[in-house]
Amino acid sequence: MNYNNYDTSYNSYGGGGGGGGGGFIPGDGSQTSPSNKRDYSQDTLRPVTIKQLLDAQEVGQEFKVDGAVVSQLTFVGQIRNIAMYATNATYRLDDGTGSIEVKQLIDADAVDQPSANKGKLVENMYCRAWGKLKSFNAKKHVYASVLRPIEDYNEISFHLLQATFVHLYHTRGPPGAAGSGGGAVTNGGQGQQGNMGGGGAGDLSSYNAVAKKVYNYLHNAEQSNEGLHQQTIAAALGVDTAEVARAGDDLLAGGLIYTTVDDQTWAVLEAD
């Protein structure tokens, strides 16, 4: 798929994709092989959510998401705040899973030059960022090489689906591979079995009764691609909204559901 001439078809998700991946970026990275030649296997463009960035594991000067090194990344979000400084413009982006500061350096030599995006990035607008994750004083932020407005809102849904697919690729293996789908290895080596009542692909043995009801309802109820709001679930189950919210937090932390249009609207993260 292509949005405004930016290729967003990711065929390589790291750890051995090499130059064959659609997300390969030859212009950056510092990995070298013993022969002093560049090792491009880590230079992949990873679609992510902001929560994944905030939870990323810092290892030396690298960051890992789902156990894989993230070199270059891309995500979409809504601009909540803009601050202009002498050397950079700082945007706070929110995608419903969290918020993070995105910094874009200002080229002093080109500050008066016309730019296609200059003046188009305003508060409450959705935009897409490409860049690298950094950390300063234990606070993560993104240095963006490209930041542009989103004009087609289908791009937001497309990105969230793609980030979910890549997350499953890293945590459960490629589609059709051993260990993918309902047989993913979790909880001390036990495959995910259907402890669902109504059928499904999640292991709910460690969750309380409300969480099990919430998951089962999300899994079986008719809904749009946006999922269901927690108030709708609470009304249908006859359970207090606060209890449903706590159950949702547990299921989100366990990776069984994910947020869609906002923090209170959820959908089941299917394995197949």
- Angstrom distances, CA of residue 66 to CA of 48, 135, 147, 164, 217: 11, 18, 25, 12, 28
Looking at the chain, the number of H-run helices and the number of E-run strands are 5, 16
Q: How far apart are CA 239 and CA 235, in angstroms?
A: 7
pLDDT at 99: 95
pTM (two decimals): 0.54
Domain ranges for the chain, please list them: 2-152, 173-268
| 21 DSSP β-pair partners | none
Q: Helical H runs in the chain?
A: 50-54, 154-172, 209-220, 230-237, 241-253
Q: In this predicted model, what pLDDT tens digit does every residue of 21-63 receive, in sequence order?
A: 333 333 344 444 444 554 555 567 899 999 999 999 999 889 9
pLDDT at 171: 86
- Angstrom distances, CA of residue 191 to CA of 170, 187, 258: 16, 8, 21
Using CB atoms within 10 A of its CB, is residue 128 exposed (0-12), middle (13-18) or buried (19+)? buried
CB atoms within 10 A of CB 16: 11
Tell whether domain 173-268 is in CATH 1.10.10.10: yes
pLDDT at 28: 43
pLDDT at 184: 39
Residue pair 71/114 in contact (Cβ under 8 Å)? The answer is no
Tell whether domain 2-152 is in CATH 2.40.50.140: yes
pLDDT at 124: 94
DSSP one-letter code for 226: T
pLDDT at 23: 38
Residues of the chain with pLDDT under 50: 1-35, 38, 114, 180-201, 272
